[in-house]
Amino acid sequence: MKTNDIALIELSEPLYLKKHHGYLKAVSMPKQNQILSPRLHCVATGWGRVKFDGQTSKILQEVVLPIFDGNKCEQIWKDLSLNKNYQICGGYELDETYHTCEGDSGGPLNCQLDTGAWVIAGINSYGYDCGKDGVPDVFTRVSGYRQWIDDNMKPKKNYFKK
């Protein structure tokens, strides 16, 4: 099953990272269907709750999460029909301390490759409350949608007004 928990937003004007936002850097897109190694450490960020039923954060939060084995993740989330072609999991097998939480949905899961380059591997989708031992967080796998992203980023006919 394909979950399609992804969207593209068209900006009304260019975003100049260096000129106006010098502290931001662009993250690369992954290759089509790129599979990341289990245990590769990634960073999830969001403005969500810092604990279950707690307040949302006023400060952007981040958590380091390793890529979780796709086969194990499919087994854990089998009742929700997780599909590792379109979803990726992040988390620790024996620690419920490090997770994303409610309100973090839509935030990125950025991973640093062995080359040193960063890619956006996932988009936060869901998890178990704010973490449960052995239950990874689930993200939309960006590489599974790369062709769709590329197709929808192409300029359309009559896109620009004369």
Place of tokens 């450490």: 41
Residue 146 lies in a domain: yes
Q: What is the pTM of this model?
A: 0.86
Phi/psi-derived region of residue 71, left when phi > 0, alpha when psi is between -120 and 50, beta in every other case: alpha
Quote the number of domains for the chain. 1
Domain span including residue 81: 36-153
In a domain, 18, yes or no: no
pLDDT confidence tier of residue 15, bands split at 50, 70 and 90: confident
Q: Is 79 strand, coil or helix?
A: helix
Please give the pLDDT value at position 139: 95
What does the alpha-carbon distance between residue 35 and residue 67 come to, in Å, rounded to a whole number?
10
Q: Amino acid identity of 7?
A: A
The answer to the question of residue 51 being in a domain is: yes
pLDDT tens-digit series, residues 87-138: 999 998 776 678 898 888 999 999 999 888 999 999 999 888 877 878 899 9
CATH of the domain at 91: 2.40.10.10
Tell me if 138 is assigned to some domain. Answer: yes
In a domain, 161, yes or no: no
pLDDT of 40 > 70? The answer is yes
